[in-house]
Amino acid sequence: MINWRKMMRSKKVSRSKGGDFMIILMLVLVGAFMALPLVYSVVNAFKPLEEIFIFPPRFFVINPTTQNFKTLFILTSNLWVPFSRYIFNSVFVSATVVFFHIVFASMAAYPLAKGHFPGRDKIFSLIQLTLLFSGGAMAIPQYIVMAKLGMINTYWAVILPPIAGSMGLFLMRQFMVSLHDSMLEAARIDGAGEVRIYWQIVMPLMRPAWLTLLIFAFQGIWNSTGGNFLYSEQLKLLPSALSQIQAGGIARQGVGAAASFILMIPPIITFVVTQSNVIETMSYAGIKE
Amino acid sequence: MKEKTNSLKPSLWSEIKKNKMHYFMMSPYMILFTVFTIIPVIASLILSFTYFNMLEFPSWRGLDNYKQLFLSDDVFLIAVKNTLIFAFLTGPLSYVLCFFFAWFINELPAKVRAFMTLVFYAPSIAGSVYTIWGFIFSGDSYGFVNGMLLKYNLISEPIQWFTNPAYNFTIVVVIQLWLSLGTSFLAFIAGFQSVSKDLYEAGAMDGIKNRFQELIKITVPAMKEKMMFGAVMQIASSFSIGAVGAALGGFPSVNYSLHTVINHIQDYGSVRYEMGYAAAIAFMLTVAMVLTKNLISKLLKPE
């Protein structure tokens, strides 16, 4: 006997009101814990100095000012190189990394997901293993190799390693596995080569995946200070320039908040934009059958 | 077809030749991956048996680096202890947070979902914004927490949150959790959304009564791969804790109360330029991560 009522109500049947309430309560409480420090940081960026050093401290600003941003601007124009240089460095490095990461990782992911060739599984399990190797553990070994290659203090040192980040390849491959072979077979019968199949059939369907790679790669490189890999002022990235300013003492509290505010905007905007795309693409993704 | 009956070698070679396009497509990535991941790991293993200061040619030390590490470097043992406590506190906790909040968010209507995802994910991509915690827990009376406690007479003088070992560890754990809804969280969000609706409908027909049953019987089995991925990401990040403590609690922190293995690597690698020793520490950390991952993949694998 088929229970038609249950089938009609499908997913939402099993939702109790009490459960809904608990979920919303948890989301509000923990959501506040997540959001308030960020909000506080943004608010602090618009506080005049006398409001930052006030007792008792206030969460919100009384007389909002853009003074911190002006001070930041004055301080940055007194740096060794023009501030625009740091912006150029960060934008150039980030754009290069994101572009080549998406292209190279997806190009490598396609054979790993859909090919049948000797060594495939060994290569993929190696990639999977290296997901564990965090930047912190790898920094010194990479530094040694880069020093040997003469890459220290060049753009190469910050551009090349994240292009071959293993997470992007891993995610891309996992998404690609879910594609139906029948589609690729049909293209092969029509005489399409592997590169054409990858570029014209697989990649357009991979839009959610490469937008995810875009978020991850951009977020990683944009927030990177370049560590010990860059020491010339004219090569340094934005976060390291701003942390130099922030390190200038306690009176830089507001300026530091302004700097953090400016730095966090691009990753958050990229995420907002790409996230809605991912969700949109997901809702159209009816190929799975 | 005939080739397959021959010896293995020509058939393997013909397989490779047949797939040369695939190898070609993989080569740009694989070259970079080899140079910046594989070679550094192998190099650090070899260098861990040497004394190497970047200027002179490495000189062989045998097991001396490892002996020093475990027998006479007290700070390393503190770092190991701190790293393990950090990892076993923040790793599982943030895994659970990522999973359940991705689930909760998935229960929301689509429009709210995108906003809540942003709220939870934002701290992990907002770069240096975590320094705001340095202001919230600032050691003077202008710090938010001290100010509030003083205002309501709960304390008589400001607490040095980041330099007092009684508090600083807990605070760093809280900040790490705040930062930790990153990659795994997004993977879970995507995982929940990609579970086929048919499965839920079939489940409802089979008599799934509430959302917990649905979660355990349908969702979890359907997103097993993503759950293992989440675990790997959590291991990688929780064993790599160190930057937050160094930025807010000082480097080195008071009595090494926040000192982790990552900080120890930085100390020997970037400050003292004892690369052989730093490589030994880095290699031990990598081994610890791989072992933990293997343990967890055994735990997550059913039957």
Read off the pLDDT of residues A234-246 as tens digits, 9 standing for 90 and up.
888 988 888 887 7
List all residues 6 or more positions away from B78 whose beta carbon is below 8 Å from its beta carbon. Answer: B256, B259
Residue B51's nearest CA partner among B43, B59, B41 is B59
Select the residue of B32, B47, B113 nearest A144 (Cβ to Cβ). Answer: B47
Say whether pLDDT at A274 is over 90. Answer: no
**Does residue B58 lie in a domain region?**
no
- Does a cis peptide bond (omega within 30 degrees of 0) precede residue B252? yes
Distance from CA of B133 to the nearest CA of A (A): 7
Distance from CA of A46 to the nearest CA of B (A): 14
> Number of folded domains in chain B?
2
Q: Indicate if B152 and B285 belong to the same structural domain.
A: yes
The residues facing B60 across adjacent strands are B50
Binary contact (B131, A246; C-beta < 8 A): yes
pLDDT value at residue A59: 87
Mean pLDDT throughout A166-179?
82
**pLDDT band at A129; cut points 50, 70, 90:** confident
Q: Indicate if B69 and B40 belong to the same structural domain.
A: no
Mean pLDDT throughout A247-271?
83
> In angstroms, rounded to a whole number, what is the distance separating the alpha carbons of residues A278 and A280?
5
CB pairs under 8 A between A and B: 308
Say what percent of chain A tops pLDDT 70.
89
pLDDT value at residue B48: 93
Q: pLDDT of chain B along its 303 residues, tens only?
A: 444 444 555 688 888 888 889 999 999 999 999 999 999 999 989 999 999 998 889 999 999 999 999 999 999 999 999 999 999 999 999 999 999 998 999 888 877 888 999 999 999 988 888 888 988 998 888 888 999 999 898 888 899 999 888 899 999 999 999 999 987 888 788 778 777 778 888 888 887 878 888 888 888 887 777 777 788 888 888 998 988 888 888 888 888 999 999 999 999 998 898 999 999 999 999 999 999 988 888 887 654
> In angstroms, rounded to a whole number, what is the distance separating the alpha carbons of residues A119 and B34?
15
Which domain, by its residues, includes B189?
63-299
Taking the CB of residue A194, how many other CB atoms lie within 10 A of it? 21
Say whether pLDDT at A91 is over 90. Answer: yes
Q: Indicate if B26 and B133 belong to the same structural domain.
A: no
**Does residue B211 lie in a domain region?**
yes
Q: Indicate if B37 and B128 belong to the same structural domain.
A: no
Q: Indicate if B93 and B232 belong to the same structural domain.
A: yes
**Does residue B55 lie in a domain region?**
no
Give contacts of B 10-69 with A, CB under 8 A: 12, 15-16, 18-19, 21-23, 25-26, 28-30, 32-33, 35-41, 43-44, 47, 52, 54
**pLDDT band at A12; cut points 50, 70, 90:** low
Select the residue of A54, A126, A132 nearest B142 (Cβ to Cβ). Answer: A54
Q: Indicate if B39 and B132 belong to the same structural domain.
A: no
B269 part of contact set with chain A, CB < 8 Å: yes
Q: Indicate if B76 and B118 belong to the same structural domain.
A: yes
Q: Indicate if B39 and B104 belong to the same structural domain.
A: no
In the block, which residue shows the tokens 């301080």? A75
Q: Indicate if B4 and B128 belong to the same structural domain.
A: no
Give contacts of B 84-113 with A, CB under 8 A: 97, 100-101, 104-105, 107-108, 110, 113
Chain segment A180-196, per-residue pLDDT in tens: 888 888 888 988 888 89
CA B87, B88, B93: angle at the middle one, nearest 5?
Answer: 100
Mutation choice for B interface testing from A3, A6, A11, A160 by most B CBs within 10 A: A11
With beta carbons less than 8 A apart as the criterion, state whether B65 and B49 touch.
Answer: yes
Phi–psi pair at B65, nearest 5 degrees: -60, -45
List all residues 6 or more positions away from A151 whose beta carbon is below 8 Å from its beta carbon. Answer: A157, A160, A229
Say whether pLDDT at A226 is over 60. Answer: yes
ipTM: 0.86
Q: Indicate if B22 and B137 belong to the same structural domain.
A: no
